[in-house]
Structures are given as structure tokens and as C-alpha cells.
Amino acid sequence: MSKIIFNEHQLRLLEANPNVESVSERAIQYTADFKLRAVKENQAGKGPKQIFEENAFDPDMIGVKKAQSALSLWRKTVHIHGEQGFLEERRGKSSTGRPKKVNVSSDKKLAKAEARIQLLDAELTLLKKLDELERKAKKKQFQLQIRSIN
């Protein structure tokens, strides 16, 4: 996410640009057509700043590094997925994130609950032992203080 935060005036300017699909305070979503054109122009030798300026973007407003990183990402997309990479939604595909909880059998739910109970029991036992050790250490320290006074 960008550190740049767009103000209302900048948001209106960006929304009016035909190469912008949507815009928020921190992010610009460009049209697939613009991304493809930008990659082709970049491969033909134009720099990111020049491409963005020619397409009515102010590099000072969006950030030159933002233009460079966006173009780098788009080139990678074209290299891996081809021109179709901009036309299809790829977010979430081949995700290795948290597994979905849909269609979990009752046996798996029970096994998970039992494992959680065992974990919590072990944690409770550990906390009890720590508490007992703390009490013994305090008692011993107190006894040493009393002996040093007498």
C-alpha cells in the first residue's frame, strides 16, 4: 500500500482519467487496456514516467516510484500470464492461506476441539506450576530477610 494519501481534488482528477478504473485515498486501479498499452510502450523503449505523463497522470502526484513498480508488476504479469492476465481475476488462486471452514465433518470438529482442550489443560498446568514456584521463591526470600534481621 502506498504512503501517498490523495486529497479530494486529486481523487477527482484521477477519477476523471479514462485510464483509471477506480481510485481510493491510497490506491489507483488502472484499466486493463492502459496496463497492456503501458507494457507495450515500455518494451518499445519508453520509461515509466514518460508513459504515465503521456496518459494524463502527474508523476509528482502518484509518485515516480509507484509508476515504476506498477509497470514492473505489469511486465511480470504479461510475462507469466500473457495479455489475458489483465482480463481475468487472479487474486486468491493457488492461495496457501487459512483453509476454509466450509464442509468440515463433525469428526474433524470434535478432534479439533479435543486438541484445543488438551492445549488449554497443558497451559493451565504450566501456569499452576509457575505460580507455585513463584510462591515458594517469595516465601524463601521472606525467610532469608527475617533471618538477616534477627
In a domain, 149, yes or no: yes
Q: How many domains does the chain have?
A: 2
Q: Say how far apart CA 62 and CA 52 lie, in whole Å.
A: 10
> What is the residue range of 118's domain?
104-150
The whole-angstrom distance between residue 98's C-alpha and the CA centroid of its chain comes to 14
C-alpha cell at 92: 486468491
Residue 92 lies in a domain: no
22 and 81 both lie in a single domain: yes
Pair 111, 79 in one domain: no
Tell whether 55 and 114 lie within a shared domain.
no
**122 and 78, same structural domain?**
no
Q: What is the pLDDT of residue 97?
A: 63
76 plus 32 within the same structural domain:
yes
Q: Which string of DSSP letters, residue by residue, matches 104-134?
A: --HHHHHHHHHHHHHHHHHHHHHHHHHHHHH
Tens-place pLDDT, residues 3-36: 788 899 999 999 999 999 999 998 999 999 999 9
pTM for the model: 0.58
Flag whether pLDDT at 123 surpasses 90: yes
Residue 22's DSSP bridge partners are 29
Shared-domain flag, residues 56 and 113:
no
Helix (H, G, I), strand (E, B) or coil at 23: strand
**Segment 98-121, tens digit of pLDDT:** 666 677 788 989 999 999 999 999
